[in-house]
Amino acid sequence: MPILSTELLLTEEERRRAYTIMGYFINGFLFGSSPPPKRLPLSISQPMIELSTYFDLPPVPTYAGQVLWNYRRIEDDNMPLQKRNTQPLVSFTGSPEEAGFFGIVLSIEECGVPLISILLEAIEATCDHDTEQLIACLQQATITLTDMTSILPRMYRDCSQSFFYHKLRPFLDGTNSLSSVGLPNGVFFEEHNGGQYRKHFGPSNAQSSLFALVDIILGVKHDQECSVKENSGQQSPNYAERKVTEQEMRLYMPRKHREFLAEVERMPHIKDFVRSQPGDVRLNSTYKNCLSALLELRRAHIRMVARYIVIMAKHQQSPMVVKPDSTRGEATAAGTTGTGGTNAMEFLKSVRDSVVQARDL
């Protein structure tokens, strides 16, 4: 197969499209068969390495490539994105269920876009000691977070647990979790100068810069390190013989997103201002209500992971569909992992607990 030149790509849109396509090529090639091949051929790896260097991203599919840069609208452009259908430009399976899965993830992102300006205005209000404006911003943020949570149940309609677990999830693996199939060093990416073994996470919601921004501005601090399992011999990626940090996941976000997050981190913190006003009951309750809305979004995500991953892992010998109302609470199971190689329940529960800690001033 000839090596395609990236020099013919002239615009940012063309480069994003190429990065997305090459990401699908890579995971389709690696995880379309079992066990995955030990080497990624030059015709696939070299263009992706050049594109990832341009974007300052790893040469693998990422959340940005699979979600933010990979959709077209198929209904009225004047409708809010979260209320219309979208279609992925590139797909692993070509299935409507895959389109449904990524469409819902994208809808949640789009629904949350107003949070960027709302929360930046909240920081400005903090700097101005404008309590009324800060309360108004937090109230708007609470409504938006609640709207985002309301989109999640559509997943049960548009993408079955069985399809996600058995058909789509294997393609969302990473090269960092392949010891059980004889690839402890990852996959060898061929390059003009020879090449090297590479171990990277696959695409994951943990790479969403929007949710990282919300956590930063609302004062949600995650542990510096989260446990992860590296290969427990499960069908899906696992990783916990080492630690993965929040900063490491940021390396999978577009460079400008990372720079923006770093800039926001240097701004005054809303939580510190609220703490300095212990007698302002309305401000404190509004801030806690906002965090409660974020907490409910995290809990809804945990419940979904329990149904789509934890329960399915217990039945992986006999594929089945679990009805949305068949599981209550937040189930746990050892060795279950999320997309991209994350230890799903452990990671999400640590994120949830961080929100609880932030709320408890």
Of 303, 304, 322, 302, nearest in space to 312 by CA = 322
Residue listed under structure tokens 């209500």: 289
Residue-wise burial string across 157-186, b where 16 or more C-beta atoms lie within 10 A, e elsewhere: ebbbbbbbbebbbbbbbbbbbbbbeebeeb
Is the predicted pLDDT of residue 233 greater than 60, yes or no?
A: no
Separation between Cα atoms, residue 157 and residue 175, nearest integer Å: 31
Is the predicted pLDDT of residue 4 greater than 50, yes or no?
A: yes
166 annotated as ligand-binding: no
Is the predicted pLDDT of residue 229 greater than 50, yes or no?
A: no
Q: What does the pLDDT look like over 206-219, one tens digit per residue?
A: 899 999 999 999 99
Is the predicted pLDDT of residue 241 greater than 90, yes or no?
A: no
User: Given pLDDT bands bounded at 50, 70 and 90, which one contains residue 181?
Assistant: confident
pTM: 0.84
Residue-level pLDDT at 79: 64
Residue-level pLDDT at 236: 35
Mean pLDDT within 349-359: 68
Domains of the chain: 96-359 (1.20.58.480)
Is the predicted pLDDT of residue 228 greater than 90, yes or no?
A: no
- In sequence order, which ranges of 251-331 are alpha helices (DSSP H)? 255-265, 270-275, 281-305, 311-314
CB-hemisphere CA count at 13 Å for 18?
Answer: 24
Separation between Cα atoms, residue 339 and residue 171, nearest integer Å: 9
Q: Which range among 3-17, 201-215, 304-318, 333-347 shows the weakest confidence by mean pLDDT?
A: 333-347
Peptide bond into 96 cis (omega under 30): no
The pair of structure tokens assigned to 344 is 């799903």
Q: What does the pLDDT look like over 273-316, one tens digit per residue?
A: 999 999 999 999 999 999 999 999 999 998 998 899 888 888 76
pLDDT mean across residues, the chain = 84
Residue-level pLDDT at 200: 94
